Amino acid sequence: MPLDPVAYQPYKDPDDFIREVTDLIWVDRSISYIRENYEPDSIVHGAYGTSTSRAEVIEGTLMRISDTPDRTGQAEDVIWEARGDDAFLSSHLVLSGHLNEIGVSRTIANCLYRRGRMVEEWVVRDSLAGALRSGADLDELARAQAFRGYLGSWTEAAPADPIAVGDSGARPDDYRSEVELVIDMINTVWNDRDLQKVERYFQRDLVLLTVGDRTIIRPEGYRRALLRFLESFPAGQFEIRDIQTNYDVRYAGLRVAVTWKFTGDYNGRANYGPLTGKPVDVLGISQFTFHQGALVKEVRLWDDIALRAQIAGMRGDEPVGPSNIY
């Protein structure tokens, strides 16, 4: 079913819509445009919990722009997929940095737009990258934030068949074999811990871009990066919450975006300070790129500072004040 232009007007397609609207708000500083772009009761699931009002998005955007006035961002990828005939779900990978300085960070914002208005969003930022470059105390940064917790769809059971229906609703059955390969990889490598099988899904010369502005190469690098995360939550599991597919030569062909939730008790290696034995709830998004039927690249993001803040709250560390979900 073709997508009705009402979903993305006045732009030429959803890709153009996402890139131009994001630039208008974040680069041109037209923060007021959020009133036209978001529904008043829009829902945003961020690393620190869920927001349920457009007003909080406006306030959070202003604070974030003010905190980093010398940084600018641009689209690195836009993976969009229709949700019915008048809506789409986009997975927007944003590359941010100073124009003349070394060092970047990435954000992925998955936005559900219906008839040109944002109704629900899932957003993750690589806050660790800037913290490491500045030499900040990571635990001190975390203690300054409060993890508020999630509401709505994020608290519900994971979709039983994410190929058919995700948190954003029913999806088209596009590129089924590639989607099934990604799901099988997550279940086999991530959840079942059969790390030897990375080569079954990925080409040898794979690239993983992940938090802390790290670039990982080769299957063995991929295995070690996954182990590094899992060792703190050794029984943790990944849930698949949503999927988008898109083919565009601008972004190197076929890509598959996956919104995932990771839950697991913090009872393994104490990489985030003293162990709590309590579960974490991590919002994450991955974007996978295919080449000749195999995975060749993944961008995997979650907010590591927010994860630390969640754990600090479980220990009873007192936060300084409320966090900016947006």
Gap between the Cα atoms of 240 and 237, Å rounded: 10
The two domains 5-143 and 164-315 share their CATH topology (first three levels equal): yes
3-state secondary structure (DSSP) of residue 33: helix
CATH of domain 164-315: 3.10.450.50
* Structural domain spans, the chain: 5-143, 164-315
Tens of pLDDT, residue by residue over 155-173, are 999 999 999 999 999 999 9
Q: pLDDT per residue over 209-228, tens digit each?
A: 999 999 999 999 999 999 99
| First CA to last CA distance, the chain | 33
- The pLDDT value recorded for residue 322 is 66
Q: What is the pTM of this model?
A: 0.96
User: For 152, phi and psi rounded to 5 degrees?
Assistant: 65, -140
Token output for 77:
């990828």
CA–CA distance from 263 to each of 45, 50, 155 (Å)? 16, 17, 12
Q: What is the pLDDT of residue 157?
A: 96
Whether residue 234 has a cis bond before it, omega within 30° of 0: no
- Along the chain (326 residues), what's the average pLDDT of each consecutive run of 10 residues? 92 98 97 97 97 96 93 96 97 93 93 98 97 94 91 96 98 97 98 98 98 98 98 98 98 98 98 96 98 97 96 82 73
Give the DSSP letter of residue 324: -
272-293: string of b/e by CB count within 10 Å (b at 16+)? bbebbeebbbbbbbbbbbbeee
CATH no. of 5-143: 3.10.450.50
Long-range contacts of 35-42 (CB under 8 A, 24+ apart): 37/117, 37/118, 38/117, 38/118, 39/117, 39/118, 39/119, 42/118, 42/119, 42/120, 42/121
Give the number of other CB atoms < 10 A from CB of residue 192: 11
**pLDDT at 49 (0 to 100):** 96
